[in-house]
Amino acid sequence: MNPRKDFVKRFYYHITNEYLGNKIVTLSPRKFSPSRPVEEPKLSRLCVAPSVPHCLVSVAMCGESKIHIYRTFNKVQAYYPYGVVDSHVTKEKWILFPIKFILVKEISIPVHKFIQEFTHGIPDKIRESQIFYLNIFKNIFNQDGSFKKK
């Protein structure tokens, strides 16, 4: 199956627990990732989202606590995912080619512990908690990862 292209160019965000540098870095698609569930497609890709809050919801489910937030250096086109059960919440898209990113922010966030305790691994509760935390993240962070002013 081939993913469908989104023809709108925009900035996308990618999060990782690895520090890749604070200058411009080129990231390449990967077939495997420690945070990618085994049931997802084996297509080489970079998972991205249109905003930092959407990225944080996905990392909250993966268990990372120290995260490095990277943004595409330029506006780019991405692809719609398939076989990713939470993409309707995370707004995940895929980039299928090497591309330049720049570090935007580094944060520590232990939300995954609360989600795991609340859901006990039950899929329906996990989805509910993702939506709940997405709303919290949208109130804390701007789309670009900067903190909202009170």
Q: Name every residue whose Cβ is closer than 8 Å to that of residue 36 and which is 6 or more positions away in sequence.
A: 47
Identity of the amino acid at 106: E
pLDDT digit string (tens) for 9-26? 999 999 888 888 888 999
37 in Cβ contact with 83 (< 8 Å): no
Q: Name every residue whose Cβ is closer than 8 Å to that of residue 136 and which is 6 or more positions away in sequence.
A: none
- Mean pLDDT score of the chain: 76
Q: How far apart are CA 105 and CA 115, in angstroms?
A: 23
Question: Given this model, what pLDDT does residue 106 score?
Answer: 84
Assigned token pair, 31 = 């077939």
Please determine, for residue 45, whether its predicted confidence score (pLDDT) is greater than 90: no
Question: Given this model, what pLDDT does residue 99 score?
Answer: 96
Model confidence band, residue 60 (pLDDT cutoffs 50, 70, 90): low
For the chain, the structural domain boundaries read 5-140
The class of domain 5-140 in CATH terms is alpha beta
pLDDT digit string (tens) for 83-134? 777 777 788 898 999 999 999 888 776 555 544 554 445 445 555 666 666 6
Q: How far apart are CA 118 and CA 18, in angstroms?
A: 27
12 in Cβ contact with 100 (< 8 Å): no
Question: Given this model, what pLDDT does residue 122 score?
Answer: 46
DSSP assignment of 121-143, as one string? Answer: T-HHHHHHHHHHHHHHHHHHB-T
Q: How far apart are CA 86 and CA 1, in angstroms?
A: 19
Number of C-beta neighbours around residue 74 at 10 A? 11
Question: Given this model, what pLDDT does residue 120 score?
Answer: 47
Give the residue with greater pLDDT, 1 vs 34: 1
